[in-house]
Structure 1
Amino acid sequence: MLEITDVEAGYDRTRVLHGVNISASESGITAVLGHNGAGKTTVLRTAIGLLRPTSGRIRFLGEDITHLAPNARVARGMAYVPQGQQSFEQLSTLENLQVVADQKAAARRRMLVDDALGRFPALEAVLHKKAGLLSGGQRQQLAIARALITEPKLLILDEPTEGIQPSVVAEIERTIVELSRSEGLSVLLAIQHIGFALSEAERYFVLASGQITRTGDGGASAQSDVLEAMAI
């Protein structure tokens, strides 16, 4: 589904990624692991088009999208939830969802909002509360719900459980697994916490200093290799 090949990218004159190769299949979870500063966010921003690679190629569903704008990638079935529980803070929870749904055909808008809320029932209680007043966990659930309304084929998540209370972390993780296993959604997940990633991911890639240092199949048996690669 997604193929990142020999990609180099960075900010201004600072190169962050050095010949990175990452692939995500048409379903299941692909985990990008690494410490802060390893380049995980840069990989995701490059995949969605917020950063242009200085070299290399990105393909999605067989199409070369290396030079496509982010909105064109979203139109092709990619959705990105950045780190930090982003939302329109002055709008209510419901309005945040409706803003995204308004881009869809009128007959589908209500259904898409209802489906997104069904993923995160806790949002029902704060539908008319401004997003800026929600807890971190509620904002993260809202951010993922908004992404799901776009009906993505590939959901890109950057540290979706960082700094969130454990009970909400469990709910977010359960939803990610349900989406990938039951509904065939492909998920590209950048995360530091390897426990959930290795238990649920079909494939993992370890980043260090902008380079892939280890890759393999997920599962508990991979933990020692990943810990070694991350030098924990």
Structure 2
Amino acid sequence: MLQINDLHCGYGRSTVLHGVSLDVPADGVAAILGHNGAGKSTLLRAAVGLLRPRSGTILLDGEDITRLAPHERVARGMAYVPQGQQSFPHLTAWENLRLVADGRKDGKAATAEALEVFPALRELLGRRAGLLSGGQRQQLALARALITRPRLLLLDEPTEGIQPSVVAEIEQTVLALAGRGGMSVLLVEQHVGFALRAAGRYYVLEAGRVTSAGDGGSGAEAGVRQALTV
């Protein structure tokens, strides 16, 4: 679904990614692991078009999208959920969802489906997003992304800063989304166990370079943890 080939990218004169290559399988999950500052979020921002690569290519389902604007990538089936449970805090949860749904022919049905994935949001639709807990805002951010019916979902640390009781729920949701077919996921995650349970393929980033890669699953956890301590 997504192929990134020899990607070099950065900010100003600083290069953050140095020749990164990875694949996200169709109807599958690829996980990116690494310490803070390794370039994980930069990679997602480049994939969705918020950063222009200095060199390299990005292919979505075989189409070269390297020079496409973010809205053009969204139109082709990409959805991005950045770090930090981002929302419009002065709008209600319902208004946050409508911002995405309005103007879409399937907006009403897609919103209903998203609320089926996150039923706890139904009781919070009239509450301002800024008054929701971190876990509730993350569910809202994921629901907004699902309304676009993405073919490729990019998630940047969806469990970061969330209370433990909700982390498990977020993990189960991501695993369920990844397992129902029709959508690929590129997941940046600090929780190694969760990332490897979800992913069929993993990549470890260190200082903007892929230093380790392999098949996911619980059997890979020891090797990944060792790679992260080197």
The CA distance in 2 between the partners of 1:65 and 1:103, in whole Å, is 24
131-140 vs 219-228, greater mean Cα deviation: 219-228
The CA distance in 2 between the partners of 1:115 and 1:29, in whole Å, is 21
Residues 103-162 of structure 1 show CA distances to partners (whole Å, capped at 9, x for unaligned) of 311xx2221111111111111111100111111110000000000000100000000001
SS of residue in 1 equivalent to 2:3: strand
1:83-162 counterparts in 2 under 5 A?
Answer: 83-105=83-105, 108-162=106-160
Unaligned runs of 5+ in 1: none
What is the aligned counterpart of 1:221 among 219, 222, 227? 219
2:64 is aligned with 1:64 = yes
2:188 is aligned with 1:190 = yes
What is the aligned counterpart of 1:170 among 160, 168, 171? 168
User: Cα offset for 1:61?
Assistant: 0.9
Letter in 1 for 2:131: L
The CA distance in 2 between the partners of 1:150 and 1:140, in whole Å, is 16
Unaligned runs of 5+ in 2: none
Letter in 1 for 2:167: V
- Misfit runs of 4+, over 2 Å: none
SS of residue in 1 equivalent to 2:8: strand
2:73 equivalent in structure 1: 73
Q: 1:184 to 1:109 in 2, by over 3 A?
A: closer
User: Cα offset for 1:79?
Assistant: 0.2
Letter in 1 for 2:27: S
User: Cα offset for 1:224?
Assistant: 1.9
191-200 vs 78-87, greater mean Cα deviation: 191-200
The CA distance in 1 between the partners of 2:188 and 2:103, in whole Å, is 27
SS of residue in 2 equivalent to 1:23: strand
The CA distance in 2 between the partners of 1:138 and 1:42, in whole Å, is 25
2:41 equivalent in structure 1: 41
User: Cα offset for 1:223?
Assistant: 1.4
How high is the TM-score relative to the length of structure 2?
0.98
The CA distance in 2 between the partners of 1:60 and 1:206, in whole Å, is 22
Residues 89-109 of structure 1 show CA distances to partners (whole Å, capped at 9, x for unaligned) of 11110111111001311xx22
Letter in 2 for 1:62: G
Letter in 2 for 1:25: P
The CA distance in 2 between the partners of 1:109 and 1:60, in whole Å, is 24
The CA distance in 2 between the partners of 1:10 and 1:180, in whole Å, is 30
2:205 equivalent in structure 1: 207
The alignment covers a number of residue pairs equal to: 230
Residues 141-191 of structure 1 show CA distances to partners (whole Å, capped at 9, x for unaligned) of 000000000010000000000110122111111111111112332110001
SS of residue in 1 equivalent to 2:17: strand
Identity of aligned residues (%): 60
